Homo-oligomer: A and B are copies of this chain.
């Protein structure tokens, strides 16, 4: 990529960003848009623009607000998981800031002032263009200046160790604080029991579970809730809810029509396909009739579910947090494949369908999924290659001749030339997360948050392998696949030799991500347009309107691997092309500000896992660091630097650091330390019946007393 493309790319990205910022500053002051820009605050019953009314005219007010918010605010408004995400952003920002402070002023002049007469291009001029002169590629082979690069590698690594250690400790504190809080959460009193063996003695599963746990915990056992096969009851329940919603909508339409015409026009619709064919009926009457018909059907379905469809899995509620925490860590049965007891996830994020899966089914599914993921990671490169081939300008012209006149305009050509490959990559990457989440759920995981963590981990390895390694080695990979098969180590050499050429590509990639990505994120142009369209054409009731603006969650599972990819790219290039460091730093610094704003004002978390994401992030940070160190080792090799082995202690240090960290911190993230939940146990004992009821799925909650029905059902 030449300098002009590079500058064009940066400038256009920046212009888009500025436009989006202005739009944001203008749009968010309009009261009608408050539900789009402050939904979190509105849902929490807070004043949307609290405290910032005077400064709403100032387009940078949100920055001040985001910056001055404390971690406690984040935890209070959005939970520990969000706070952990900020720890991640600020840790990486810190690493890049400290690295850049040493590397930029030292390495860039060293690279630039090196006189390297060896490499000429065909015209006899120096082959390096202006940007490449700032990179390590410009250093001569065996140059003593490479020592500076060695020291830089150590500096980056040590800064990372120190900041990661502090971050792990900090996250552990956050988790402990949240878990030991006075506010009792239902999941702290419960465990999930799976693999309940078939018993011929007990008359029902419920009796079996009750007997078993009463024997072991005579004093602290409260009640058990056996998981049932809810397919039928869920179907009826959803149908019923749908009719109720439609009834409310019809009533609103009727009431609205009365305002115009005192008589009112009762709404009607056709009962056939999509309301286009069939008999015309009075909507209100029709829906009422349907609801009356379905309600007893639901009740009888609930009863038959309680009775006949109990599965080999249960949620057991204890009267005591310590017992629940310790039960989740203890082996109850002699064999691993019966009576598996684990901590209960939050009721809202339990994946009920996965609970009754048996141990062997889970194990088998896991290995099958791992195999599919392995295939996906390895062979997604093929479509990526095909897409990059199609998205070059000459190919586009050939394939889509009608674009020719547009593509011949100079500015458009430059802009597209700078963007097309990156855009293709970004679009392509957006397709995968849903597939990986589906695979992770298919493993038989018990909770949504765990499934998202698992998907996130898979996505990270995918993106590093395919985007970073794939793009870097690029087309040469297929040609030299046989070479790599023979000498597996040569993949590092290949990576090392191809790295410097791709530095500018990745700088523009990162810049595009933060300027356009964060601009879109902050300005919420897409949700705003969708909301206004929906409000105008679809929404009839207040409920519909709320559904239209209800924000999503942070999208953790896909955000973190994307961020991790930027970490990997920035770390790997940090010493080779230090120019990438400020871009990486902006990515994480700006990200911190933008997401602070989003977390405080917009997004609503779907679940809380008390920072269980952190060990995943930590391990993957170390994987990136390891890749960086290995790449540098290879790159020093291509520079024929005989002191290259001076780098070897670094990967060893990383492995030792990772081992020590996981030994010291990890267990508390796997399960709850007893001292943490014990600290306030005696002070607040919540109403156990409420705790118990919160675990009953909505479709099984009866009109009057769900728990008793459940009891009766046995």
Contact = CB atoms under 8 A, between A and B. Distances in A.
Interface residues of A, number: 37
Contacts of A678: 215-216
A335 interface: yes
A338 to B, nearest CB: 9
A648 interface: no
A502 interface: no
A672 B334 CA distance: 8
Interface string A663-681: 1110110011111101101
A568 interface: no
Given A215-B678, A679-B215, A330 B334 contact: no
A74 to B, nearest CB: 21
Given A172-B334, A334-B176, A337-B664, A674 B216 contact: yes
Contact of A330 (B176, B218, B330, B679): B330
Contacts of A252: none
A98 to B, nearest CB: 26
Interface stretch (A13-21, A321-329, A523-531, A548-556): A321-329
B682 A218 contact: yes
Given A326-B326, A327-B326, A334 B217 contact: no
A674 B218 contact: no
A335 B168 CA distance: 11
B339 A675 contact: yes
Contacts of A339: 675
Contacts of A219: 219
A333 to B, nearest CB: 6
Interface in A328-355: 329-337, 339
B172 A673 contact: no
B332 A673 contact: yes
Contacts of A664: 335-337
Nearest to A671: B331
A64 B515 CA distance: 89
Nearest to A668: B334
A322 B172 contact: no
A336 B215 contact: no
A272 B265 CA distance: 123
Interface in A164-195: 172, 176
A286 interface: no
Which of A330, A334, A665 has the most B CB atoms < 10 Å from its CB?
A334
A683 to B, nearest CB: 12
B676 A217 contact: no
A299 to B, nearest CB: 37
B330 A668 contact: no
Contact of A334 (B218, B336, B675, B681): B675
A212 interface: yes
A681 B217 CA distance: 10
Contacts of A682: 218
Contacts of A681: 215
Contact of A331 (B172, B322, B337, B667): B667
A684 B675 CA distance: 29
Contacts of A172: 334-335
A674 B331 contact: yes
B334 A326 contact: no
Interface in A423-482: none
Interface string A621-660: 0000000000000000000000000000000000000000
B331 A331 contact: no
A28 to B, nearest CB: 41
Contacts of A336: 663-665, 667
A674 B332 contact: yes
A248 to B, nearest CB: 49
A678 to B, nearest CB: 4
A219 B220 CA distance: 11
A216 B325 CA distance: 11
A216 B675 contact: yes
Which of A337, A339, A672, A674 has the most B CB atoms < 10 Å from its CB?
A674
Contacts of A329: 326, 329-331
B675 A333 contact: yes
B326 A673 contact: no
Interface string A196-218: 00000000000000001001111
A337 B172 CA distance: 14
Nearest to A323: B326
A364 to B, nearest CB: 12
Contacts of A674: 216, 330-332
A403 to B, nearest CB: 55
Interface in A664-708: 664-665, 667-668, 671-676, 678-679, 681-682
Interface in A106-126: none
A325 B329 CA distance: 11
Given A326-B326, A330-B326, A668 B215 contact: no
A215 B217 CA distance: 19
Contacts of A322: 216-217
Nearest to A329: B330
Interface in A216-241: 216-219
A668 B339 CA distance: 13
A523 to B, nearest CB: 41
Interface string A387-412: 00000000000000000000000000
A682 B176 CA distance: 35
Which of A218, A326, A327, A332 has the most B CB atoms < 10 Å from its CB?
A326
Contacts of A217: 322
**The 10 nearest A-B residue pairs measured at CB:** A216-B678, A326-B330, A334-B668, A329-B330, A334-B673, A332-B674, A331-B673, A326-B326, A331-B667, A216-B674
Interface of A: 172, 176, 212, 215-219, 322, 325-327, 329-337, 339, 663-665, 667-668, 671-676, 678-679, 681-682
Given A216-B675, A336-B667, 20 more contacts: A176-B334, A215-B679, A215-B681, A218-B682, A219-B219, A325-B330, A326-B326, A326-B329, A329-B331, A331-B667, A331-B673, A332-B675, A333-B675, A334-B668, A334-B673, A334-B676, A335-B665, A336-B663, A336-B664, A337-B664
17 contacts: A172-B335, A212-B675, A326-B327, A326-B329, A326-B330, A329-B329, A329-B330, A330-B674, A331-B673, A332-B674, A334-B668, A334-B673, A334-B676, A335-B664, A335-B665, A335-B668, A336-B664
